[in-house]
Structure 1
Amino acid sequence: MDKINIIRTARLKAGMTQTQLGARLGVGKAAVSAWENWREVPSTQRLSRLARALDPHLDLHAYLAQVATAKSSPKARAA
């Protein structure tokens, strides 16, 4: 299943670059890129700050559902 890039979509709707969003969250552009490309998942603390920074553009429930699905997939369990 292809993951919809919820964080990237919300960031673009908010009119922010990766650098601007990273600055608001206290992380670098590389961290934002990693989240958007599913190389990493933000910590709970960062996710909370991300939701506040992108509100109302971030569909947090949809994002968390994708994270849960990805973690329970056979491919994820094999890693």
Structure 2
Amino acid sequence: MEWFPVVAGTFKGVALGTGMFFAIKWHYDQGKKEQDKALEKRAVLRAAGKVAAIFALSLLGLGLLTFFVLSKLSLDLGLT
């Protein structure tokens, strides 16, 4: 019996098996990475929304505070 077909066939099987394993692992890792990116993007958008809401509320509060302080000081608040 010749030894070359046995060795070459074994090498081919090991090489293809290893390649398939790493290809499947790579695709699985890419799917997890995209899922993590989506979760990270959602967290960033949520944080940006909170910052925008806090800014809008503080701006409204400052405007109302200014209005009431100027009213107490009897300053003219008319637009005309």
* TM-score, normalised with respect to structure 1: 0.23
Larger radius of gyration: 2
User: Larger RCO: Structure 1 or Structure 2 (Cα < 8 Å, ≥ 6 residues apart)?
Assistant: 1
More helix by share: 2
